[in-house]
Amino acid sequence: MDRVDRCIVLVDAGYLLGAAASLLAGEPSRSRITVDHAALIQGLRERAESDTQQPLLRIYWFDGAPDRVPQPEHRRLRVMPRVTVRLGALTRSDGRWAQKGVDAAMHAELTELARNRACSDVVLVTGDGDLLPGMMAAKEHGVAVHLWAVQAADGDYNQSEDLVAEA
């Protein structure tokens, strides 16, 4: 089976919006920023098609939600063309919200897309080193992996060094 020449974007919303909030509002709380999801999705699509020189197949939006119940932003996103929302759990520990299952879902999707030759290029918008094995597997299947970052607020890195090195 031949690989299909198109790109897919996998977005870790916790990373993207948390890093954007740090940069714009000085702290990683997503409630501190207002997101125009339609413009954000359009921007991701345009940049992905430009960077990869391939048409977009789909943007996968990975996020956490309490009891995996879609929040208003998830409901807005999932009705947009070529956007698929995948929800992990959002749990509270030590007074902070933490996503559970999002990295595992991203890893599984990345590996499956590569194995099925669904695309030639994958854009990863994440900082999480847990995706390193998935990235390596995708590359072994001949998929070009593009790793995007949000500029870190303090000029430091907000991505796993191993992930950056592998990309």
Alpha-carbon gap, residue 71 to 112, rounded angstroms: 26
Would you say residue 79 has pLDDT above 60? yes
CA dihedral over 42, 45, 49, 54, signed as positive or negative: negative
Model pLDDT for residues 82-97, shown as the tens digit of each residue: 999 999 998 887 877 7
Q: Residue 120 carries which DSSP code? A: S
Give the HSE-up count for residue 7: Cα atoms under 13 Å, Cβ half-sphere.
23
Confidence of residue 73 (pLDDT cuts 50, 70, 90): very high
Would you say residue 153 has pLDDT above 70? no
Bigger pLDDT: 167 vs 131: 131
What is the arithmetic mean of pLDDT over 147-155? 74
In the prediction, which pLDDT does 1 show?
52
Answer whether 0.85 is exceeded by the pTM.
Answer: yes
Q: Which CATH number fits domain 7-166: 3.40.50.1010, 3.10.180.10, 3.30.470.20, 3.40.50.1100?
A: 3.40.50.1010
Percent above pLDDT 90 for the chain: 58
Q: Where are the domains of the chain?
A: 7-166
Beta strands in the chain (DSSP E): 7-12, 56-65, 83-93, 96-100, 121-125, 144-148
Radius of gyration of the CA atoms of the chain, in A: 15
In the prediction, which pLDDT does 157 show?
62
Number of residues that this document lists for the chain = 167
Q: Are 69 and 21 in contact (CB under 8 A)?
A: no
Bigger pLDDT: 150 vs 71: 71
Q: What angle do CA 35, 46, 34 make, to 5 degrees?
A: 5
Confidence of residue 2 (pLDDT cuts 50, 70, 90): low
Give the dihedral of Cα atoms 77, 152, 154, 103; nearest 10 deg: 80
